[in-house]
Amino acid sequence: MEYTHLGRSGLLVSRICLGTMNFGPEASEDDSHTIMDSAHDRGVNFFDTANAYGGTVGEGITEQIIGRWFAQGGGRREKTVLATKMYGNMGDWPNMRYCSALNIRRACDASLKRLQTDYIDLYQMHHIDRDTPFDEVWEAMEVLRQQGKILYVGSSNFAGWNLAQAQEAAKARHFLGLVSEQSIYNLLTRWVELEVLPAAIAYGIGVIPWSPLHGGLLSGALRKEREGGGSRSSKGRAGEGLDKHREALEAYESLCNDLGEDPADVGLAWLLSREGVTAPIVGPRTLAQLDGAVHAVEITLSGETLDRLDEIFPAPGPNGSKPAPEAYAW
């Protein structure tokens, strides 16, 4: 496994981040524990979760599963860079969602209890809160850091100007601010390249792509469809794009076949080749999928292959090979 700094911080994380959103709804607790143990065995030290994961509002089921895994000891907590998120709805009453100082405090304490730990390595805002000023957000995060409950702060689903706004507000308070941003980013969804990715690079914010395979669409969806095993690739985000992107996916899977690599691994390897990307978040349901994700770190895509991928999946904008504003203007 390779490791890199999370943004401009001194924190070292694996180039693959283990996503846990399926723990509970899709994977049993025993299977979830096995996957986490296996991730450690493969050198993956970066785990991502959220207080809203688990399928039942307010329960934090996924965090509870991770907490019971930590409670088994064996250095599980010490070996893990733990990232969780707050913002989502955790109850019916006001102030049980979003990024007010009150909810930040309550949500953090509740996550710590469910996770059976006394600190969170990376505490993330799951979405931009347009109604809470960053002075309030940063004051609340500063208090948590002073109390030793969190070490670093990250964001998710922020626009590029939100990153700039957050960092300038933090700078004025002499606070470290954001060290990471989680954005949807994959070969089919490259919008972050216009503003989010450049802003993150400029501010030293590590980008952690979620849905790196577009819900399974980039994991060999057409091959699985032919083999009759593409149920996951025909649902949600992937299902909506299967027919729309069929021609591009045919070219993509043909290229991967020529490379002798699985499409899922190539999709991850492409992300790992992008400037500013720290670690894509993968949510394996089997150990074979976990092994594939780890293998992606070892894949080096040639310049010719990268150019071909740009042809198949063009960058956004009429002049997408150029940075904004030239991508869409002059």
* 106 within some domain: yes
pTM of the model: 0.94
Instruction: Tell me the pLDDT of the chain (330 aa) as tens digits.
Output: 999 999 999 999 999 999 999 999 999 999 999 999 999 999 999 999 999 999 889 899 999 999 999 999 999 999 999 999 999 999 999 999 999 999 999 999 999 999 999 999 999 999 999 999 999 999 999 999 999 999 999 999 999 999 999 999 999 999 999 999 999 999 999 999 999 999 999 999 999 999 999 999 999 999 998 888 655 555 666 667 898 999 999 999 999 999 999 999 999 999 999 999 999 999 988 888 899 899 999 999 999 999 999 999 999 999 988 999 999 999
Please classify residue 59 by burial: count the beta carbons closer than 10 Å to its beta carbon, then call 0-12 exposed, 13-18 middle and 19+ buried: middle
Whether 53 sits among the annotated catalytic residues: the reply is yes
Looking at the domain assignment, is residue 239 inside a domain? no
Give a yes or no: residue 194 inside a domain: yes
131: in domain: yes
Residue 179 inside a domain? The answer is yes
Q: Find tokens 């070996």 and name the residue.
A: 79
Angle at 180 between CA 262 and CA 24, to 5 degrees: 60
The count of domains in the chain is 1
Contact in structure between 127 and 157 (CB atoms under 8 Å): yes
98 belongs to a structural domain: yes
Question: Would 241 be classed as within a structural domain?
Answer: no
Say which CATH number the domain at 148 has.
3.20.20.100
**Of 3, 53, 87, 152, catalytic:** 53
Quote the domain boundaries for residue 143.
3-217+264-301
How many C-beta atoms lie closer than 10 Å to residue 295's C-beta? 17
Q: Quick one: residue 190, left, alpha or beta (phi over 0 = left, psi -120 to 50 = alpha)?
A: alpha
